[in-house]
């Protein structure tokens, strides 16, 4: 992503501004809301990235969608991005803000892939185990992938633990393929 550095700079600047007015948590919620809204609505994403649509029209759409639902710091970001001709970066900045905020709060993102959705009880057990292993709080993202058949794949930061049934079957297959066992006839 060519604008990743700029997105991080904007995210850090918005976080600093939000901290000054003690609304960093509210702005983080706004950024998650914006990211989800843009991800769910491809037309909105295309419109924000379009060089044909006027910046003023983009701002009008953003204000219509988010005014009254987000913090004033977030609304100010829209205008700042318009002034700097960076509205197309809104989704990227929102994602980076969440990452920078999580780092500030000593929280990490843990992604657990399962064949079926986690229950609240299992989710709590996973979060408790992550805290006991890493010493940091975590936000849990549950990705559902029926191809793993069962078990789970847990990724926290750079560490991945694969306890899926499909992984065990693949390892067993490799073991059989590599064995020199030749049956006697």
Q: How many CB atoms lie within 10 A of CB 119?
A: 9
Domain identity same for 99 and 25:
yes
What are 141-167's pLDDT values in tens digits? 888 888 888 888 888 877 788 888 888
- Quick one: what percent of the chain has pLDDT higher than 70? 96
| The pLDDT of residue 125 | 85
Query: How far apart are alpha carbons 150 and 114 in whole angstroms?
Result: 7
59 is in which domain, residue-wise?
4-103
Into how many domains does the chain fold? 2
pTM: 0.67
Domain identity same for 99 and 125:
no
Domain identity same for 120 and 99:
no
Asked if residue 31 has pLDDT above 70, the reply is yes
Q: Last residue of some domain: 51, 77, 103? A: 103
| The pLDDT of residue 182 | 60
What are 164-176's pLDDT values in tens digits? 888 878 888 888 7
Nearest to 84 by CA among 108, 45, 58, 119: 58
Domain identity same for 141 and 167:
yes
Domain identity same for 53 and 139:
no
């Amino acid at each position: 992503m060519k604008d990743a550095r700029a997105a991080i700079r904007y995210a850090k600047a918005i976080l600093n501004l939000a901290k000054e007015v003690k609304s960093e948590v509210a702005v983080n919620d706004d950024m998650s809301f914006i990211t989800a809204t843009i991800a769910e609505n491809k037309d909105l994403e295309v419109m924000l990235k379009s060089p044909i649509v006027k910046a003023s029209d983009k701002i009008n759409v953003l204000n219509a969608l988010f005014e009254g639902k987000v913090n004033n710091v977030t609304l100010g970001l829209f205008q700042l991005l318009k002034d700097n001709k960076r509205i197309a970066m809104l989704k990227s900045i929102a994602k980076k803000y969440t990452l920078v905020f999580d780092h500030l709060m000593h929280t990490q993102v843990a992604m657990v892939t399962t064949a079926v959705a986690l229950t609240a009880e299992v989710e709590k057990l996973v979060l408790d185990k992550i805290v006991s292993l890493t010493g940091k709080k975590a936000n849990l993202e549950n990705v559902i992938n029926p191809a793993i058949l069962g078990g789970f794949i847990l990724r926290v930061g750079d560490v991945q633990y694969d306890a899926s049934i499909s992984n065990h079957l693949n390892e067993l297959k490799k073991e059989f393929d590599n064995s020199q066992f030749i049956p006697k006839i």
